[in-house]
Amino acid sequence: MKKGRVFSGARPTGRQHLGNYLGAIKNYVALQDDYDCVYCIVDLHALTTLETTQDLRQNTYEMALDWLAAGIRPLESIVFIQSNVPEVTELHTILSMVTPLGKLTDLPTFKEKIRQQPHNINYGLVGYPVLQTADITLYKADTVPVGIDQAPHIEFARETVRSFNFAYHTNVLIEPQMKVIGTDGEQKMSKSLDNHIELAATPAETLKRVMSMVTDPARIRRTDPGNPDICNVYSFHKIFSAPEEVQMVNVECRRAGIGCVDCKKLMARNLNTTLEPFRARRAELEENPDGVWDVLRDGARRARTIAQKTMDEVREAVGLPS
């Protein structure tokens, strides 16, 4: 018996990196044991910030490939592309009628977007949290896994659901609960900082990336003692290395018993060992690209069955002529 239904969406950002894995994918995989999971590649959300859509299809494919290779089980969970279930845009429109504009423009995330792209403050950007609420509620998800920094978004979704249910004297939409997930390592890597390590990178590429990682800046010479507590490499040792190796690095770094080069090589080796099964599975899936698209199409079909039922209830509650 599953505990409820989880919904989570991610923008199609192409090949996933370690930060994506630690921040989201690893949790997606684990949640499948306890919840019905609905995982969505939110291509419509991506349109609010994309300058061009020329890589959208390929990025969607690469991301789905990484999700599947990492252990998302498509027969059990629903994996699909947001725009393949058009009911979400209808629910977005209906929910926008119970959303005060000022509430949207006051959100810190909106203000941040204005700062990031002052040349493109589009209407979709303002309504982004409403579309996000539509994503969650369309599938009657009761649980949304997020990092603690995403809490205001879920609170916004909850308030919007309350407004809708109050306005139309109904309980058709479900207020989602937030499930705070660990995002260990997520903040340490990003494509924009160009310090990311792709899950699908070769062992040699991974080693090269690890060798360029920033360490304790005060440790200039090999003989300088270091402080692992402020070193990114050590953070990754804690995730990918055996406890005795973590302990060894913790002790030896502080007394200059191990140099950063050897320390990084050790971490890269452990990281590559951890990623080996993922890479093998990815290569296998890559042999049949149509299979990945079939998974996404089948996911959309199953998602749409839920979505159509919800929309029948929503239209009825609103009083739209059938």
Residue ranges binding ligand SF4 (CB under 6 A): 215-216, 219, 226, 228, 231, 233-234, 249, 253, 258, 260, 263-264
- Shortest distance, CB of residue 208 to ligand SF4, whole angstroms? 15
| Distance in Å from the first CA to the final CA of the chain | 36
- Shortest distance, CB of residue 223 to ligand SF4, whole angstroms? 12
Place of tokens 């890479």: 279
Residue with smaller CB distance to ligand SF4, 90 or 252: 252
Record the tokens describing residue 169, joined without a space. Answer: 């004297």
Return the ∠ at Cα 74 (arms to 47 and 3), rounded to 5°. 95
Q: How far apart are CA 36 and CA 184, in angstroms?
A: 24
Residue with smaller CB distance to ligand SF4, 223 or 322: 223
- Shortest distance, CB of residue 203 to ligand SF4, whole angstroms? 19
Place of tokens 């998302």: 72
- Shortest distance, CB of residue 182 to ligand SF4, whole angstroms? 21
Query: Which residues, 6+ apart, have CB-to-CB distance to 192 below 8 Å?
Result: none
Residue with smaller CB distance to ligand SF4, 193 or 220: 220
Residue with smaller CB distance to ligand SF4, 54 or 223: 223
Residue with smaller CB distance to ligand SF4, 249 or 275: 249
Give the residue ranges of DSSP H helices in the chain: 18-20, 26-31, 43-47, 56-70, 87-96, 101-105, 108-116, 123-138, 151-167, 203-211, 232-240, 243-254, 260-286, 289-318
